[in-house]
Amino acid sequence: MSLASLFKSGIFLDLYFVKNNRANLIAFLLWPYLMLILILGAGFLFGSTQSFRSNVGEDVDPIVFFVSSTLIASASLSVMWDVGGAVLFHRWAGTLPYVLLAPYRTSVILVMAYIPRYILWSFIQLAEFLPPLILRKGIYALIIDLPILSVSLIVGMLPLLGFSAIFASILLVTKEESNILSWLNPIILILSGAFYPSYLFPLWARIISQALPTTHTFELARLTALISAPGVREVILIIGILLGMSFLYNALSYTMIGKAEEKALGSGSI
């Protein structure tokens, strides 16, 4: 089986999943908007755009700010669930031994089969969010927001794949059955400044947030919310940080998941 076959099976897996789970598809399309409407609706009920700008300390459009935040939050959650949580799902379904005994390394299977899903769904969500962006910013939504958000989705995924695979390796070794990612994922989003910028946090939280790849993806995507156009230098700097993190986390996860696999196969307790 080649890597291309793994990639192709990932594509078909998703297409047939959608074909047989229409309710899931509708829910998937509705969720980001529900989250966005709740935050914006409650925000405008209890406060105002002026207070938002004064609290954030920057001249940003709250609607664009939360559209980009929601998009990245959904995409990041998807990576963390589908790569980090894959070990849990396989363990629950009883398929973990098969994945571990397959010719490819677990990390390669998790990542290669997942990439088509990520690209398909994150760009569907980006397309879904284009109308509010065009309403707010007109043609600039297509010239500035669309490219920046696309780059954020792609470059932001690279370190997060490795980061999530580290969780997969930990779950493999600890033989944890309970769904610890259900609370770990929102904590990661909170510390990444998903809906509340991380620079407003206390020092200890800011230190943790700098080590999380999602923090920088949120920062990159939210550059679109600035009323004035974002500087190219700023964009390149954040992309550089994300690429550096990609190298670090993927190298770390490759080693860690390899050791975890060996341990799981050696102990026979998978």
Partner 1 sequence: MIKAIIWLHFLRLWRYRYSFLNMVLSNAMWVLLLILGVLLFVPRSQLPYALKSAYWTIACWSVISSFSSLVGGWTNFFISLGMVEEHILRGISPFLVISGRLLTASLVSAITIAFMGALIQSLFSIPLFEVEPGIALFSLIIVSAESLLYGLLISAISMRSTISENFLEILNFAVIGILIVPISVIPEQLRILYLSIPYVAPAYILKAASGSEPPGFLGIGVMISVIETVAFLLIAFLAVRAAESHIRRNGTRAIGFY
- Give me the residues that bind partner 1 (CB under 8 A), please: 23-24, 26-27, 30-31, 34-35, 37-39, 41-49, 51-52, 54-56, 62, 66, 69, 177-180, 182-183, 186-187, 189-190, 194-196
**Quick one: 13 or 35, whose CB is closer to partner 1?**
35
Q: Do the Cβ atoms of 148 and 235 come closer than 8 Å?
A: yes
**Quick one: 92 or 98, whose CB is closer to partner 1?**
92
**Quick one: 183 or 266, whose CB is closer to partner 1?**
183
Query: DSSP string of 181-209?
Result: HHHHHHHHHHHTTSSS-GGGS-HHHHHHH
The rounded distance, in Å, linking the Cα atoms of 70 and 244 is 24
> Min. distance of Cβ 75 from partner 1 in angstroms?
16
Q: How far is CA 94 from the centre of its chain?
A: 26
- Find, among 152, 177, 172, 134, the residue nearest to 79 by Cα: 152
Q: What are phi and psi of 269, to 5 degrees?
A: -110, 70
One-letter amino acid for residue 40 of the chain: L
> Min. distance of Cβ 131 from partner 1 in angstroms?
20
> Min. distance of Cβ 14 from partner 1 in angstroms?
17
**Quick one: 28 or 104, whose CB is closer to partner 1?**
28
> Min. distance of Cβ 79 from partner 1 in angstroms?
17
**Quick one: 15 or 42, whose CB is closer to partner 1?**
42
Q: How far is CA 189 from the centre of its chain?
A: 9
> Min. distance of Cβ 86 from partner 1 in angstroms?
18
